[in-house]
């Protein structure tokens, strides 16, 4: 349920929008990561990217902070590595469950091999 009262609307400067668009255009950087790091909604960043393509936002001459760009690339790499390790962990977990289940059913029981004596 929405909060009662007026909505809070944030106004971003053209410089901020241009910097966000430039960051999202870096190779190896995802729009989602840029949006999260700038605390904006990804849809808003996508809209700004569209406005930049249409020429409404000028991105030429906007200087990017090299540390922020490097951090975004590093974050993307860490997320990929984490997802890969998580998948490998799940596969290993399933393999252990499968092999332990096979071992329990395939080992002959000493009671089952005995013949009943009369």
Q: What pLDDT, in 10s, does the model give residues 54-103?
A: 988 887 777 777 777 777 778 778 888 999 999 999 999 999 999 888 77
In this prediction, residue 48 has a pLDDT band, given cuts at 50, 70 and 90, of: very high
Tokens of 99: 């092999």
CA pair distance 85, 67, nearest whole angstrom: 27
How does DSSP classify residue 35?
A: H
pTM of the model: 0.53
In this prediction, residue 36 has a pLDDT band, given cuts at 50, 70 and 90, of: confident
Contact 20, 34 (CB under 8 A): yes
Q: What percent of the chain has pLDDT over 90?
A: 25
Q: How many CA within 13 A on the CB side of residue 108? A: 4
């Amino acid at each position: 349920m929405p909060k009662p009262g007026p909505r809070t609307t944030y106004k971003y400067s053209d410089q901020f929008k241009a910097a966000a668009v430039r960051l999202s255009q870096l190779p190896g950087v995802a729009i989602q990561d840029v949006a999260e790091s700038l605390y904006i909604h990804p849809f808003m960043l996508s809209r700004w990217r569209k406005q930049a393509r249409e020429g409404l936002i000028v991105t030429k001459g906007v200087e990017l902070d090299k540390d922020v760009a490097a951090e975004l690339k590093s974050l993307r790499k860490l997320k990929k590595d984490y997802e890969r390790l998580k998948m490998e962990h799940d596969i290993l977990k399933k393999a252990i469950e499968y092999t332990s289940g096979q071992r329990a059913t395939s080992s002959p029981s000493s009671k089952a091999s005995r013949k009943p004596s009369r």
